[in-house]
Amino acid sequence: MNRPFLYLTLLGFALIVRCNVNKDTINPSVVISKVERKIDISSHLVKSASSLTVENTGKSGIKSFLYAIEPSLQKYLSFIGASIKDDDNKLTVSKTAVDGHGDKEFWRINLPSSLAAGKSVQVDVDSVYAHALAPFPTKIKQSEKQLVVFTGNVFLYSPYKITSQTTTVNLASSSIESYSKSPKPVSQSEKTVTYGPYEAREPFTEAELRVHAENNNPFLTVTHLERVIELSHWGNIAVEENIQMRHSGADLSGPFSRYDYQRTQDAGASIKSFKTVLPASAKDVYYRDEIGNISTSHLKELDDMVEVELRPRFPLFGGWKTQYLLGYNVPSYQYLYNQDYCMVVSLMDQTCGEDEKLKCLLFNNEPAKLPELNIGDIVRFHRLKISMFNNEEQGQSGPGFSWLVFSSNKDASIDPTSSLSPNYTFTDSDKQKIEDLRTWIADQDELVVKCKTAKLENIIPQMYFDFVCQVVSTCYFENDHCLVLRVWDGTVTIYQLRKFEFDEELLPSCDQELLKKADGFMVDIALYDDHCDKAKEHIKPGDFIKLINLHAAVYKTANTVSTDIPTIELILHRGNSFGRGCVSADDKILEEHLQSISNLTRTITSEKSNKNKKTVRISDEHPERVIDNSQKPSTSKYNNQTFSVGPVKTSELKRPNPFAEFMNNSGNNDNIDAVTSTSVDEQKSYKESLTKIMWGK
């Protein structure tokens, strides 16, 4: 019977202890010998800067003191901080409570060292109050000035005795309607009202301070802010802010006249523009709303920040609202730190179908604790967590995760070649599984899951593919550690591709005949990091190469609109996942590629065997896309957006492939003449198939 009672008693004791943890007492030995307080109401915020000389009149040292917020400003406090005078190091400030003063708000300020008896220290306390200025009158006409009222305390609201103090109020304008004129002495000069000095005041002394003056500064209030941060694995952080704001000053009364507004130079209480600051490394800044890009903005790059002046589509008067998107990119190395290392592993076994695999993400703060793997190795993952990502199963390391690595060689030892821990269990069934996998691996030609080899004409946004092409020129961008290859494969894409601006002095010499051949077909491919280093040494203009796991990424700029048909940039990302890399195209690869483009070009026999055949050479003119109003346009979808597109000119569908001609003529096929020859039926069939590929018909 006593046990429940004892339990409740202990619980009550625990609660009492918890409630007293953050409570302080007012030390009567602390005296504020001098206070110099400045209250700035020249903007839409109230900023208070108090310089306090704290004196210890007791017999023992003190490690902290209390700072109180006056009752009229408690609900408006948005920031408080403290520091020792002439010292940039901030002091620890924490909210606390005092018995018997439940209606007051206290903050404990910890001193950097104990203040000995009889000593003093000068502490600067800064506080900021939002919405502490009230417009009065609350409604004004377009031509009227905005007046605001500030109500506070003439004296510092302190729990300690104050020997001497002065309060100075800085205003936005010398136009003052009224201000408190007691207790004396009180003086006013231009934009300043000074109260004091006052001698010997008791704790918590109050006297109303009221100032009614003109203030036409922007009274902007952010009512909603949604920030989306997109972390890229390739060295970039994209930030986009969706901001809704309101002019929280005096509401506009009566109609708005654009004519009167433009005729007068003084905008009054309206807001034409405002400024925001971004990190110094911010780039690709864009400013837009639901309509589209807002061009009325200015960007200024400073040493430690990027200053952006934003001008809404219309001036903001009191009570008016606006909404916009502000986005920018910053490099990830300035904000991301290597707290964890990540390894991506793709697994497959006998149960997997063609191109099936399980993608696994392994994390550890020590790279040595991640397995060193080669393609074809056998692994055993213990406590691998399986979850769904993008409607696909994905493995991830978690608590208790461990691994073993085995050789796939049938003649190798059955023991693991490496392990996370020296202690592990290895049963007979595990050994049998290893043997089965080794047998299965021996029958496989290749374990790498390949991307589809594609031509430029077949690519779509966000696609990964293998690409065979010829290098026309190269250019190295040292700042970005990027090598750009200008290449061609004889086909063109319906999408606009990102093109890098080359400095002609950086371009190596190349075959002018090759440049002429590839004119109109060249595209830029960016190789980063490890691929850049290797390609820079081994690839030269004229080489035939194969790029494995090339990414057709969507390229966004400050002017990109979500409804635009996307611009694509071709990127070979760093790392070797999925066999990613750049290799020299051998004869077999070139032969396969020639076969793959045979749907676009046909080789015909030499003139001797073709005397009785009519050869049709296709025009070399660059195609232009047209919309035939007599035909119903088809549609194509990207990123859940539907685009209306029309039929394509026949001349575009029949464009020749000089790349195939160049490759064929570069060999010893003397009896081959690479000229496009198509019958009417073949042209019709090809037009239908290509239209289906390009437009999704």
Nearest-angstrom CA–CA distance, 303 and 308: 14
Average pLDDT over residues 440-445: 81
Query: Out of 24-28, 157-161, 453-457, 534-538, which region has the weakest mean confidence (pLDDT)?
Result: 534-538
Average pLDDT over residues 606-622: 34
Q: What is the pLDDT of residues 481-524, one digit of tens each?
A: 788 898 988 888 888 888 887 665 555 556 677 888 888 889 99
Task: Determine the topology of domain 23-214 in CATH.
Answer: Immunoglobulin-like (2.60.40)
| Residue 9 pLDDT > 90 | no
pLDDT band at 642 (very low <50, low <70, confident <90, very high): very low
The pLDDT, as a whole number, for residue 149 is 94
Pairing of strands 283-288, 321-331: antiparallel
- For 456-595, give the CATH class: mainly beta
Average pLDDT value for the chain: 77
CATH of domain 341-442: 2.40.50.140
The pLDDT, as a whole number, for residue 35 is 94
Q: What is the pLDDT of residues 13-31, one digit of tens each?
A: 333 333 344 678 999 999 9
The pLDDT, as a whole number, for residue 677 is 33
CB burial of residue 146 (10 Å; 0-12, 13-18, 19+): buried
Fold matches, 220-334 and 341-442: no
pLDDT band at 612 (very low <50, low <70, confident <90, very high): very low
Q: What is the pLDDT of residues 576-585, one digit of tens each?
A: 766 788 888 7
Return all residues near 633 (Cβ < 8 A) that are at least 6 apart. 627, 644, 645, 646, 647
Pairing of strands 392-396, 463-477: unpaired
Q: What is the pLDDT of residues 515-563, one digit of tens each?
A: 888 888 899 999 887 788 888 888 888 888 888 889 998 887 656 555 5
Query: Out of 41-50, 264-273, 541-550, 612-621, which region has the weakest mean confidence (pLDDT)?
Result: 612-621
The pLDDT, as a whole number, for residue 633 is 37
The pLDDT, as a whole number, for residue 366 is 82
Per-residue 3-state assignment (H helix, E strand, C coil) for 27-87 = CCCEEEEEEEEEEECCCCEEEEEEEEEEEECCCCCEEEEEEEECHHHHHHEEEEEEEECCC
The pLDDT, as a whole number, for residue 422 is 87
The pLDDT, as a whole number, for residue 199 is 92
Q: What are phi and psi of 455, to 5 degrees?
A: -100, 165
pLDDT band at 591 (very low <50, low <70, confident <90, very high): low
pLDDT band at 10 (very low <50, low <70, confident <90, very high): very low
- For 220-334, give the CATH class: mainly beta
| Residue 626 pLDDT > 70 | no
pLDDT band at 594 (very low <50, low <70, confident <90, very high): low
| Residue 286 pLDDT > 70 | yes
Q: What is the pLDDT of residues 46-90, one digit of tens each?
A: 999 999 999 999 899 999 999 999 988 999 999 999 999 888 788
Q: What is the pLDDT of residues 342-398, one digit of tens each?
A: 888 888 888 887 778 888 888 888 888 889 888 788 999 999 998 887 778 889 988
| Residue 662 pLDDT > 70 | no
| Residue 160 pLDDT > 70 | yes
Q: What is the pLDDT of residues 400-421, one digit of tens each?
A: 899 999 998 888 888 899 999 8
| Residue 676 pLDDT > 80 | no
The pLDDT, as a whole number, for residue 564 is 62
The CA-CA-CA angle for residues 660, 662, 668, to 5°, reads 100
Average pLDDT over residues 586-604: 48
The pLDDT, as a whole number, for residue 613 is 37
Q: What percent of the chain has pLDDT over 90?
A: 29
Q: What is the pLDDT of residues 326-357, one digit of tens each?
A: 999 998 878 876 566 788 888 888 888 777 88
Q: How many CB atoms lie within 10 A of CB 689?
A: 13
Q: Are 308 and 278 in contact (CB under 8 A)?
A: yes
Q: What are phi and psi of 242, to 5 degrees?
A: -100, 110
Q: Which of 87, 83, 142, 109 is nearest to 24 (CA)?
A: 109
pLDDT band at 159 (very low <50, low <70, confident <90, very high): very high
Residue spans of the domains in the chain: they are: 23-214, 220-334, 341-442, 456-595, 604-695
Q: Say which residue, 646 or 228, is predicted with more confidence.
A: 228
